Amino acid sequence: METRVQVLSEDEKAQVHERTLQVLRTVGMRCDTKEGRRILAAAGADVDETTRRVRFPTDLVENLLAQATTTFTLHGRRPGWSFPVGAGEFTLLADGGATSVVDATTGERRPTTFDDWRAATRLLDALDDVGLYWCPTDYDVDYERPGGFVRYFTRVFGTFGKHVQDSFGTPELAPWLKEVLDIVFGGPDQVRRQLPLSFLITPASPLTMEHDFTQTWLEVRDYGLPVAVMPMPLQGATAPGSRLGTLLAANVETVGTICLVQAAAPGTPVFYAPVVATMDPRTGLYAAGAVEHAVLGVAGTEMARWYGLPAESSGLCTQTYQPDLQTAWEKADSALLVTLARPDVLVGPGLLGGATVLCLEQIVLDVEVVRRARQGATGVPVRDDLWLDDVLEQVGPCGTFIGERSTRAGVRGGEWRLSDFGVQGSWDAWRAAGSPSTVTAARERVDAILAEQVSLPFGDDQAAALAALQRRADAAS
């Protein structure tokens, strides 16, 4: 008796698919990379070179979707760590790209620094709930030059030991990425087996496979990296002004891009990963904390499941700029709703302000929110040994169950989730501890984790090879 949520019926999911096929067949998508258009034309798509418009026959869409690898295992540098995708497991992907940070000392917002990047990356590495990584801050200014690019990926793989999901829009840098992967993971064959990195493709809404990131993936496709296809249509702005129309646009953009991926490299592992979002019609801004965003996240997860594809879904979103009550309700309702839809990967921990502001305390708070949501998803387990009607008969009226063996077994067996975070005891105990706020407790937790976290060092040969590669990259910059 698990807790479930449903937005779309089976018939409604089929309708989304049928209308997606119609849009792809009649309207199509613009594909800005010439190589992508060539690949799709060779696969049987109708390509207009003048407008860059690609239209997809229905049979072609169905055949290409069927080629996607839907169960695979992600790895990282950490010995023994792996995450099976498509096996009913769940992990978090830390949100990324913040341009500012809530300073832990002053409480004020300021631009992010390398120290913020390092602290956030170390914290995420230490939290087992977080299996996948995006760069938590904006990239350095030299990221799209060989020196900065090699430096970044060397630092990432040297600090975060689990799976990295990243992207870049400079095709000329693809050979440098391959060299980093070869050194860190032992060559192309090992990369294909371990899948330590997945590539993020973000079609531009509406209905456009943009050039830079798409072409970059085409340059690295021979390494077999999983691909997450993540359009970000915004209801009423870059998508139609209804939730259903926005879901349709997201599905068209995701499915159309998956078709290119499979035509270019059949069998590539994929994540169905749209961020189906909404606009605040009062301002035109992304309404990160809107409950409609959370509901659309559920609907997107349901479409992934309908296709039999792994779901990378978005939740834990908020519009607020510091941890407060609004942050709590916006992140809690989106986390619970999307978690109940059971994605493989939930994106979102750690950012505020519509994913623009990093807050280390919020990372810890968000992980706690998701732990609660996951316990809620277990519902009311039903087994013969859990009815306890014999215990009810034995204790009888006016008795107590505190001392019963079955109560102790329930505590140990997961009938309660016993959090070690936040206020759990009496008023007197809380006052005696200095009446700490939840944010203060989160700050203490962050400090304790960072005091103990140790990243996995590179071996001597790896370090020497990476240093030599860095010198060449700097010279080429």
Mean pLDDT of 387-404: 97
pLDDT, averaged across the chain: 97
Residue 422: pLDDT band with limits 50, 70, 90: confident
Question: What's the pLDDT tens digit per position in 158-183?
Answer: 999 999 999 999 999 999 999 999 99
Is-contact 304 15, C-beta < 8 A? no
User: What's the pTM?
Assistant: 0.96
Question: What's the pLDDT tens digit per position in 269-325?
Answer: 999 999 999 999 999 999 999 999 999 999 999 999 999 999 999 999 999 999 999
pLDDT for 1 = 82
Please give the Cα distance from 21 to 256 (Å, whole number): 9
Q: Residue 226: is the preceding peptide bond cis (ω within 30°)? A: no
Question: What's the pLDDT tens digit per position in 431-452?
Answer: 998 999 999 999 999 999 999 9
Residues 6+ apart with CB under 8 A from 5: 298, 337, 340, 341
Question: What's the pLDDT tens digit per position in 367-384?
Answer: 999 999 999 999 999 999
Mean pLDDT of 343-361: 96
Question: What's the pLDDT tens digit per position in 214-236?
Answer: 999 999 999 999 999 999 999 99
Is-contact 160 197, C-beta < 8 A? no
CA angle 346, 315, 362 (to 5 degrees): 95
